[in-house]
Amino acid sequence: MIFNSLTFIVFFAIVLAVWQLRLPWTGRKLFLLVASYIFYAAWNPPFVLLLWASTVVDWWAAQTMIRSEKKSVRRFWLIASLVVNLGMLAFFKYGQFLLDNFVALAASIGIEYVPAKYNIVLPVGISFYTFATLSYTLDVYLKRAKPAEHFLDYALFVTFFPHLVAGPIMRPTELVPQFAEAKRATRTMLLFGLFLMTVGLFQKVVLADGFLAPVVEAVYDPRGPMAPLPLDAWVATLAFAGQIFCDFAGYSTTAIGVALTLGFAMPDNFRFPYAAAGFSDFWRRWHITLSAWLRDYLYIPLGGNRHGPARTYMALMGTMLLGGLWHGANWTFVAWGGLHGLYLSVERWLKGRFGGFKPSGASLIAVMLLTFLLIDVTWVFFRADSFKEAWTILGAMAGHAPGGKPLVAMVPMICALLVVAGIVGTHWAMRSTTIEAVVERTPAWALTTAWAAMLFAVIIEQGQGNAFIYFAF
């Protein structure tokens, strides 16, 4: 079940209607838990068993760790949690990747190995809920947080359907306390939540799927041999930069809106990232909850910035390489993460040499534009299915396009460029504010007009119910 489907609209209407009934708080939470399982089971019912396994193991691990002062017992249950969660993630997400690389390695030394087919379906959202549950047991083990008092509250945290399959990646300390007392959205929360849902669906259905995806697919998924012209390669890559933002931010915005209509708050996941002035600024604005998770559970344990420059650069690169691999079982994702690690390392070195430089005015615009263009280079590896395809696209972007031919029609190209320019321009204009602040100071008539226009566009576009890109991660 995806947000941009009629099935979800019916599901959400039923959930919202029942949620407003004057039922006991425990009964309402049980209803929300069952609804969340139904939401997830709509993809593949057997995979609910994975959610149950992760939920039960981590609940007992945390309860045992908090009751025991023996380090060996606490370590055993932490390891048990890590083995179960990372084991399921490795088996379902990285099994084929590891097998393919083993076969390639064996072939490189003259050993021919033909394994049985690895026909395993990737459970939707497994990367997201694995990170969410791991933060629970890690925080309890490190005594940074107390375990949930009630199993129902913890189970609901794991399965809460707005954030279950594509984030934001929430910590138990952010959501479990909200289950302690009865919640029901106020009129303001309900209206703003519905507005955010409209904004998110507009980003996904109209911008990402309607205007940008066809241009991206014409170049990155051509029907014949791929040989794009430089203009086509640049336009498609810029279009993907807009598509990946509108698709993922659209999901997060819709999820935050859905939660708000039920009376729950979820953290922002995007803050106008294409207005970033530098790459550390970009990661403070892009996929914020993942950035915070990687910082707290990878970068800092790897040494962070506490052990000298060399260790810091190693921690940065290690974190971003693993962050890239988290996104997908393909070496192109590792290259994407490695490029970001390189960018962050170079930026840190430059700040050490020219720490007093603070861009403003024209220099700020130049830094933001350079940041955006260099990030576009990384998106090539993120979108390409192979290094061969990535090098072809990058070569065309650099002007080397032997046998190149036009792959994108003029009208879709112009529309895509206008949409991307609108996205980047909006980010630059709103880099120091929030959507809440803009809504608050916008006249009611203008806000209503914009809301109606977005809703109308979503309805007439309808789309084909394309899944969100991050469902594949």
Confidence grade of residue 352 (pLDDT, cut at 50, 70, 90): confident
Whether the predicted pLDDT of 467 surpasses 90: no
What mean pLDDT do residues 280-293 have? 96
Look-up: residue for tokens 């509108």? Answer: 246
Judge whether 167 and 269 are in contact, CB under 8 Å.
yes
> What pLDDT sits at residue 391?
94
Q: DSSP assignment of 80-93, as one string?
A: HHHHHHHHHHHHHH
Q: What's the rounded mean pLDDT across residues 158-179?
A: 92
**Tokens coding 113:** 């190995």
Q: How far apart are CA 1 and CA 44, in angstroms?
A: 10
Average of pLDDT values for 122-139?
92
pLDDT surpassing 70 at residue 472 = no
Q: How far apart are CA 214 and CA 408, in angstroms?
A: 9
- Answer yes or no: are the C-beta atoms of 412 and 215 closer than 8 Å: yes
- Alpha-carbon Rg for the chain, nearest whole angstrom, is 23
**Which residue type is seen at 139?**
D
pLDDT digit string, tens, across residues 197-222: 999 999 999 999 999 999 999 999 87
Using one digit for the tens of pLDDT, what is the confidence trace for 107-123?
888 888 777 777 777 88
Taking the C-alpha atoms of residue 364 and residue 362, their distance in angstroms, rounded to an integer, is 5
Return the C-alpha torsion angle 165, 170, 176, 181, nearest 10. Answer: -90
Q: What is the pTM of this model?
A: 0.94
**pLDDT-derived band of residue 406, with 50, 70 and 90 as boundaries?**
confident
C-alpha to C-alpha distance for 153 and 158, rounded to whole angstroms: 9
The rounded mean pLDDT for the chain is: 92
| All structural domains of the chain with their residue ranges | 24-183, 189-277+359-472
Q: Mean pLDDT over residues 56-66, rounded? A: 94
| Secondary structure (3-state) at 124 | coil
pLDDT of amino acid 380: 98
**Residues catalogued as catalytic:** 327
